[in-house]
Structure formats: C-alpha cells, structure tokens
Amino acid sequence: MSANVRSSVEMPDSGYTDADVQRWYQEPPKRATRTPFERDRARLVHSSALRRLGAKTQVLGPGSDDFVRTRLTHSLEVAQVGRELGKSLGCDPDVVDTACLSHDLGHPPFGHNGENALDLVAMNIGGFEGNAQTLRILTKLEPKTFTPDGVPCGLNLTRASLDAATKYPWFTGEGPVDPQGVVTAKFGVYGDDAPAFRWLRDGAPAGVRCLEAQVMDLADDVSYSVHDVEDAIVLGKVDPVALGSDEAHHKVVTQVRDWYDPDVSDDALGDALDRLQRLPYWVSGYDGGRLSLARLKDMTSQLIGRFCDAASDATRAEYGGGRLVRFDASIVVPDDVLAEISVLKGIAAAYVMAPREDEPVYHRQRVVLAELVEAIFERAEVALESPFLADWRDAADEGARLRVVIDQVASLTDLSAYAWHARLCGTPD
C-alpha cells in the first residue's frame, strides 16, 4: 500500500497514512471506537515484557532504596514527557507513548552492565544491543499474535508505532560516522530480524529516524538526566551546592566528554552548569525533609518543562505550525539545552555511575550472566522456559541456539538472574 495515501477511515486528518497503520499480520479491529494506535499502546501496557521492567536496574538496583527508579518507573516517566512533547508538535500521542513505554524493553538484568556482558558473550553472532533486543521483543518474542501458520508476530504493532520505537534504524556497522570516521557502535536490529525491520521501514529514508522516534529519544534523555540527578541527591551521592566548585566543574565536564561527547564545547558545558545553578528553582540544599523533597521535585519538573518547551519552540520555528508527523520534520534541540542536559547526565555519571564500575558487585553481575548463558546452553532441554525451548528446538544451528539462550537470559530480572545462577551453576548468589 502506498505510503502517501491518506487514511480516510481509521485515522482521518491525523497526518498518518494507510501504510502507517498497517500491521505485519492484518487483524480486524476488536472495537471500532479505538484507533490503531490506541490498540498498540494497550498491547504494550498489558505485555509481560513491560511488567518485568519493574524489577530491572535503572541506575541503582531495585530494592536498593524505595525512592529510586526502576526501568518501569523510568519508562512511565519517559512516556509522560514524550507524550506531551509529541502532542505539542502534532504527533499522535499514542504512537509516542507506545515508543516511550517500549524503549527499554530489551534491557537485560543489571542495566548497561548486563548489556555489556551479553554483548561479549554474543560477539560471534552479531553481539547484543538493548535496542535491537527491543525490536526483537516487539516483533517476535512477546506472545500476542501469530499468523495462521504459526509464525510469531510479537505484539503485531502498526508500522508507525514500531518505527517510533526504533531508536537506531540500522544494522550493526551501518550507523552514522563521527568526524573521526568511527561508525557508531549502537544499532537497532539483529541480522535475523531483518524481514520485520525492512517491513517496518518500508518507504522510510535510509538511516533517518522518524520524528516520533526522535521525540522518544529526547524524552528519554530529558527524563534520565533530570531524574538520575534527583535520585543521586536524595541518596546523598550529590550535594547540589558543592557542584559550584571549580573541582566539581572539572569533574563533571570531563565525565561528560569521556562518556557522552556531545557536539558542544567544554566551555559551553561549564557555562551550562553555571546557568543551571543560577536558576531560581535549583535546590540550594537537601536535608531529606518533606519541604526539601518538594523543592527537589519542583526543580525536576521545572527542568523538564524548560528542556521540552525549548525543543518544541525551536522545532516549530524551523518547520512552522501545523501537524508534524513521521518524516515531516526533525526535532531541533538548541545548543544551550543540549549542554544543560549533558551536564546533568555528567553529574549522575561522575558521582554515581562511574565510581561503581570498579565495585565488586558489578564484576559479579557480569560473571553471573556469562556463566548463566553457558549453563543454560549446556542444559537447554531442562533449563529453558517453554517458549524459549520451542525456539531452541527450531533453531537451525549453534549460533541460532545461542541467540535463543541470550533471549532467555535477557528476559530475566535482576533478582531472577541471581536465582537462576544459584540454581543452575551451584554457587551462592
């Protein structure tokens, strides 16, 4: 179906085409009162993959403190931010909501630490990437829809929602190249998921993210940059007043450059940190009381509004009014906003994430996942859960079987990974 044919039945005057609302396997609507995109969101909300995020690491592991965020609470916050930002530009709110809720589905136990461990184990079969795993879950692993001949379609979302959830629309080694000629290590699809990827990208410019995916990505950056700092302040990892020192400036800017390397100068990053601290709502101290918590929450709310309003205004200034969807526009983030978001990420990285890299628990997590993959591979017939066991038996070769085992391990929560390791490897957790 042509991508430039407007739908006059299901999505009138929405800016989306008939091709955008297509599903890999066509299904009749169950309720005529819901749009295709509302169905997408409902499927995601009711998925087991989303529920599991409640017990997966965001920055600090679930159970470390009642206040800190999990992948699920983070995803809910990203969805709220993205929904409002997308709506201001004319994107369908349910498309953006679905993309935001699903953006972390592919993360394995132990967050990025676990992602690195599985990437090493999967080196010879195309690696492991949380974003590619998300697409695999949405189009295959999540049990919702099958074709009449038994082929899994995952949640069988519309083309627009799947594309919006695809943060990196390219295969490994085919992404953007930086000024030094280095290809980005991030990618959004494994080789054996190519048919679904090519279907959802039909008619899309090669390597270009749709606007809804860009909104999701910015909402993620805004959310975790602000909320990770909030969590760090509550847990006593960061003193917001002490960030004004020259030493803190150097530490944060260096961390930003080492980990994120945004397209802004070091001076711009330092200026951004100064600018944030001069804001009237920047917290001047934190003592754990309700008033301090309220002031901290006000700061996070104000910062989110500051960043999103600036991006929305800049995008509108570039592309004008009216409804912007899919490939009508690219979101515009002003340089000063990019710098401010980057230094917030740098604060959390410098005072929370980087110091933990050398802690024994993080080495232990990587060992647990590597040993778990090995143990399950050797005892697949008794170790794999039933859905993955069926995939194992259908696998054509050793590489395909290893991918099944990694699918199984990636689906586990932090706590269940330790429990499986204790049971299968015979060592204490």
Residue 64 scores a pLDDT above 50: no
Q: Is 70 helix (H, G, I), strand (E, B) or coil?
A: strand
Asked if 101 and 79 touch (Cβ cutoff 8 Å), the reply is: yes
Q: Answer with the residue of higher pLDDT: 244 or 209.
A: 209
Q: Which long-range contacts (CB under 8 A, 24 or more apart) does 141-147 make?
A: 141/49, 141/387, 141/407, 141/411, 142/47, 142/48, 142/49, 143/48, 143/387, 144/43, 144/47, 145/25, 145/27, 146/25, 147/25
Over residues 200-212, mean pLDDT: 96
Instruction: Kindly report the backbone phi and psi dihedral angles of residue 143, in degrees, each rounded to the nearest multiple of 5, phi listed first.
Output: -80, 105
**Which residues have a Cβ under 8 Å from the Cβ of 74 and sit 6 or more positions away?**
58, 104, 223, 224, 227
Asked if 338 and 264 touch (Cβ cutoff 8 Å), the reply is: yes
Asked if 188 and 168 touch (Cβ cutoff 8 Å), the reply is: yes
pLDDT at 262: 87
Over residues 125-136, mean pLDDT: 97
The one-character DSSP state at 89 is H
Provide the pLDDT confidence category of residue 181 given band limits of 50, 70 and 90.
confident
Q: What is 186-224 written as a DSSP string?
A: --SB-GGGHHHHHHHTTTSPTTPPPHHHHHHHHHHHHHH
Q: How long, in residues, is the chain?
A: 429
The domain spans of the chain are: 36-200, 211-356, 360-425
Question: Distances in Å between the alpha carbon of 54 and those of 105, 151, 347?
Answer: 11, 29, 25
Residue 5 scores a pLDDT above 50: no
41-62 pLDDT tens trace: 999 999 999 999 988 765 554 4
Least confident of 3-17, 190-204, 324-338: 3-17
Distance between CA atoms of residues 290 and 22, nearest Å: 49
pLDDT at 216: 98
**Which residues have a Cβ under 8 Å from the Cβ of 7 and sit 6 or more positions away?**
14, 16, 17, 18, 20, 21
Over residues 96-105, mean pLDDT: 97
pLDDT at 69: 73
pLDDT at 354: 80
Burial classification of residue 398, based on how many CB atoms lie within 10 Å of its CB (0-12 exposed, 13-18 middle, 19 or more buried): exposed
Q: Answer with the residue of higher pLDDT: 13 or 401.
A: 401
The percent of residues above 90 in pLDDT, for the chain, comes to 79
pLDDT at 104: 95
Over residues 377-383, mean pLDDT: 97
Residue 65 scores a pLDDT above 60: no
What angle (nearest 5°) sits at the alpha carbon of residue 205, between those of residues 203 and 211? 95
Is 1.10.3210.10 the CATH number for 36-200?
yes
Residue 419 scores a pLDDT above 50: yes
pLDDT at 404: 98
Question: Where does residue 329 fall: left (phi above 0), alpha (psi -120 to 50 degrees), or beta otherwise?
Answer: beta
350-376 pLDDT tens trace: 998 887 777 788 889 999 999 999 999
Q: Has this prediction a pTM greater than 0.85?
A: yes
Distance between CA atoms of residues 289 and 154, nearest Å: 46
Over residues 325-353, mean pLDDT: 95
Asked if 336 and 384 touch (Cβ cutoff 8 Å), the reply is: no
pLDDT at 3: 37
Over residues 273-279, mean pLDDT: 96
Q: Answer with the residue of higher pLDDT: 219 or 263.
A: 219
pLDDT at 9: 41
Asked if 112 and 56 touch (Cβ cutoff 8 Å), the reply is: no
Half-sphere exposure of 334 (CA within 13 A, CB side): 15
pLDDT at 389: 97
Residue 157 scores a pLDDT above 60: yes
pLDDT at 58: 56
Residue 2 scores a pLDDT above 60: no
164: which 2 tokens?
A: 């919006």
